[in-house]
Amino acid sequence: MIRRIIQALIAIGFIVYGYFKMAGSEYQKDVVVFGIIGLATLLELLIEHLIINRKRLILLLYVYYLAVKKENIRFSMSYLYIIKVDDEYLLVRNSNYGHYQLVGGKYKRLKGTQSLLKEKFEAMDDLKLPNKNLMKDDFAIFIPAKNAIKFLDWFNEGKNREINHWREFYEELIEGKGKLLSKEKFPYVNYNLLGRVMTPVKKTPGWDCYEILQYDILELLPNQEQYTELLDLKNQGDSNYIKWADRELINCLGHDKRTMTKLYDIGHHTKWALNMKWSKD
């Protein structure tokens, strides 16, 4: 963006210099025309850029503003499973914050991806979260605002990064944080990609940084044996690690309007995933 502004100023400079400083010169017309052509070309590129990005124009403008200020943006890139049995959804306890959320978590930065992120996008580690154990190399990083849109386009293309969604399912329900489902019935899972939810650029409360959170939303498609095992798990009831919540309870983030009590905290991103859109509350 800054490069384009400089190019536009140079083109305007040719027009001004040719028109006022070269009066009477045989080259005046050529210099002015050259400047006009350059400015028109840049204007065409700008219009094309705005048309292509019309659905994220506010994001573009805000990111460009932060780029001028030389700010960094924290990106957290995750995926979440919608696992529904009857009319309730399976939630698991977040070990860091204590709230309940859909099964899933952050993508991992693979070995080959690490150098690409640093070289192409000037990525920096997220020092606000520990980089160890199950959180080692999570896809939570800081990117200079000037590279933010380029980074988003690269990530959403899905090349040269982790795209498999099995790891978090396995860690949270089969072997790792929880051992709730059998390896025999769940050697794999099928799912639909419902879409993607992304927050606007926002200041993170208490962290004093700009942030974008993005979630790929997956709908689990269990076979009959898997569904039966999930139903058995549901019939065992809630525990400290898992909860089963209906849509109304999730939309109220754990507050039960029927009993007028707060049962437990549900992460905001669970509500966003269920409704397939970000909201302030």
| pLDDT for position 156 | 95
pTM here is: 0.81
Query: What average pLDDT does range 75-93 have in this prediction?
Result: 97
More confident of the two residues 215 and 49: 215
| pLDDT for position 54 | 59
| pLDDT for position 106 | 94
Q: What DSSP assignment string belongs to 34-66?
A: HHHHHHHHHHHHHHHHHHHTGGGHHHHHHHHHH
Query: What average pLDDT does range 171-197 have in this prediction?
Result: 95
Torsion of CA 164, 170, 171, 174, to 10 degrees: 180
Whether residue 14 has pLDDT greater than 80: no
Contact 106, 141 (CB under 8 A): no
Query: What average pLDDT does range 114-124 have in this prediction?
Result: 92
Query: What average pLDDT does range 215-230 have in this prediction?
Result: 98
How confident is the model over 24-49, as pLDDT tens digits? 676 666 655 655 775 566 565 566 55
Query: What average pLDDT does range 213-228 have in this prediction?
Result: 98
Cα(103)–Cα(169) distance, integer angstroms: 7
